[in-house]
Amino acid sequence: MARRTSHRMGPSDVVILVMGMTGSGKSQFVSKLTGENAGVGHTLTAGTVSLDLYSCVENGQRIFVADTPGFNDTQISDVEILKDIAFFLGQLHLRNVRLGSILYLHSITDNRVSGLALRTFNMLRALCGPQALNCAALVTTKWGALRSPKDDLAACDREKELMYTSNFWGSMRQHGSQSYRWLGSEASARSIVREVIQTSCQRTFPPVLQIQRELIDEKRPLDSTSAGREMMARYEDRCQKVKQELDDLRSELLSASGLTREELNEGEAEVNRLMDELSRSETCQHGLRVSQRDLFDQKTGEYKQLYQGIWEEVEQENQLISEIGRRLSAFEQRLSYLEPKTDSTKGPATAENPPVPPRAGTWATVRRFLKRNVLPLLGVLAGVGVVAAGAAVINPPLIMAGAQLLALSFAGVQWHTDQGVDGPDLIAGVEGVIRACPPTPITAGFRMHT
Residue 433 has pLDDT above 50, yes or no: no
Which residue, 62, 25, 69, is CA-closest to 188? 25
pLDDT tens-digit map of 339-392: 555 555 555 555 555 555 544 444 556 566 666 666 666 767 776 776 666 666
Q: How far is CA 57 from CA 7, 30, 35, 136, in A?
A: 13, 13, 11, 21
d(CA 303, CA 323): 30
More confidently predicted of 318 and 78: 78
pLDDT tens-digit map of 96-109: 888 999 999 999 99
Cα angle 403-408-410, degrees, rounded to a multiple of 5: 95
pLDDT value for 108: 94
Which residue, 362, 347, 345, is CA-closest to 435? 362
* pTM recorded for the entire structure: 0.64
d(CA 340, CA 363): 7
Which residue, 226, 264, 274, is CA-closest to 89? 226
pLDDT band at 314 (very low <50, low <70, confident <90, very high): low
Mean pLDDT of 396-412: 63
Cα angle 76-85-234, degrees, rounded to a multiple of 5: 65
Helices 226-255, 115-128: inter-axial angle, 10-degree rounding: 150
- Annotate the chain with three-state secondary structure: CCCCCCCCCCCCCEEEEEEECCCCCHHHHHHHHHCCCCCCCCCCCECCECCEEEEEEECCEEEEEEECCCCCCCCCCHHHHHHHHHHHHHHHHHCCCEEEEEEEEEECCCCCCCHHHHHHHHHHHHHHCHHHHHHEEEEEECHHHCCCHHHHHHHHHHHHHHHHCHHHHHHHHHCCCEEEECCCCHHHHHHHHHHHHHHHHCCCCCCCCHHHHHHHHCCCCHHHCHHHHHHHHHHHHHHHHHHHHHHHHHHHHHHCCCCCHHHHHHHHHHHHHHHHHHHHHHHHHHHHCCCHHHHHHHHHHHHHHHHHHHHHHHHHHHHHHHHHHHHHHHHHHHHHHHCCCCCHHHCCCCCCCCCCCCCCCCHHHHHHHHHHCHHHHHHHHHHHHHHHHHHHCCCHHHHHHHHHHHHHHHHCCCCEECCEECCCCHHHHHHHHHHCCCCCCCCCCCCCCC
- Give me the chain's average pLDDT, please: 77
d(CA 15, CA 57): 11
More confidently predicted of 10 and 114: 114
More confidently predicted of 130 and 51: 130
Residue 336 has pLDDT above 60, yes or no: yes
**In the chain, % of residues over pLDDT 90:** 32
Residue 1 has pLDDT above 50, yes or no: no
pLDDT tens-digit map of 193-231: 999 998 888 877 778 999 999 999 999 999 999 999 999
Mean pLDDT of 402-407: 65
d(CA 113, CA 115): 7
More confidently predicted of 394 and 286: 286
pLDDT band at 3 (very low <50, low <70, confident <90, very high): very low
